[in-house]
Amino acid sequence: MTDVRSLLAERLAAVRGRIAGAARRAGRDPAAVTLVAVTKTVTPAVAAVVFELGAADLGEGRPQELWKKAAALPAARWHLVGHLQRNKLDRTVPLAALIHSVDSERLLAALDDFGRKRGTPVPVLLEVNCSREAAKGGLRPEDLPALADTLPARSGVEVRGLMTMAAYADDPEAARPTFAELRQLRDRLRGVTGLPLPELSMGMSGDFEVGVEEGATLVRVGTTLFEGLPALE
């Protein structure tokens, strides 16, 4: 446990330092960027350690894992960063502070219905496939204008912004056009809908500094924090 705690404390401090440096380079306040520690490769016990070290926002890729870890660690702010099937809304939505991965109009409509029925809007981000990779999910950038017309009337969801994933590359700079496009899409969507859309979720272990430089307010970091840690059940 001591090894895991000390290693995680070191890694967390290093990631926070890199976020702060990227924010300063872009003339931004580091406090405007939230680190989401993505715990999908680790046990609930490891997730509990990183939470105790001050990472209050934790992310999961699969609803079933979110259910399990949120039960073990209900005080964390849980983010769903992976695909959400419509048949898992009932169990997932009440546990998630933010759903990053609304990747289709059908899912958005289902979440809107869910939020209307419960009387509280569901906080969501629209996932946009700015890298245009066939293997990735998400809305196409060209789908957003038509979708924008419907957003102000959707009282069952609170659309807080957009999310994307860059294509894998050895050079983090390769992600910059993808992240810049997401920011531009968000800015245009703001103008059309009148919604504040404060959040941009972009940047993972390999490219989160570029994400911050391009305006990310949420970065999703898993590998850099958790890879190779000693086992902890």
**Can you give the residue ranges of every domain in the chain?**
2-226
Q: What is the pLDDT of residue 230?
A: 75
What crossing angle do the helices spanning 2-25 and 44-52 adopt, rounded to 10°? Answer: 60
Q: What is the pLDDT of residue 18?
A: 98
Question: Do residues 213 and 22 lie in contact, with contact meaning Cβ atoms separated by under 8 Å?
Answer: yes
Q: pLDDT by residue (tens digit) across 66-111?
A: 999 999 999 999 999 999 999 999 999 999 999 999 999 999 999 9
Q: What is the pLDDT of residue 232?
A: 66
Q: What is the pLDDT of residue 2?
A: 67
Give, in degrees to the nearest 5, the angle at Cα 40 between 89 and 177. 90
Query: Which residues of the chain, if any, have pLDDT below 50?
Result: none
Q: What is the pLDDT of residue 81?
A: 98
Q: What is the pLDDT of residue 179?
A: 98
Tell me the CA distances in angstroms from 19 to 30, 32, 190, 221, 223, one per residue in order. 7, 10, 26, 11, 15
Q: Tell me the residue type at 98.
A: L
Q: Measured between alpha carbons, how far is 112 from 154 in angstroms, rounded to an integer? A: 6
As assigned by CATH, the class of the 2-226 domain is alpha beta
Q: What is the pLDDT of residue 233?
A: 56
Long-range contacts of 226-233 (CB under 8 A, 24+ apart): 226/8, 226/39, 226/41, 226/42, 226/46, 226/50, 227/41, 229/4, 229/7, 229/8, 229/42, 229/46, 230/3, 230/4, 230/7, 232/1, 232/4, 232/42, 232/43, 232/45, 232/46, 232/49, 233/43, 233/45
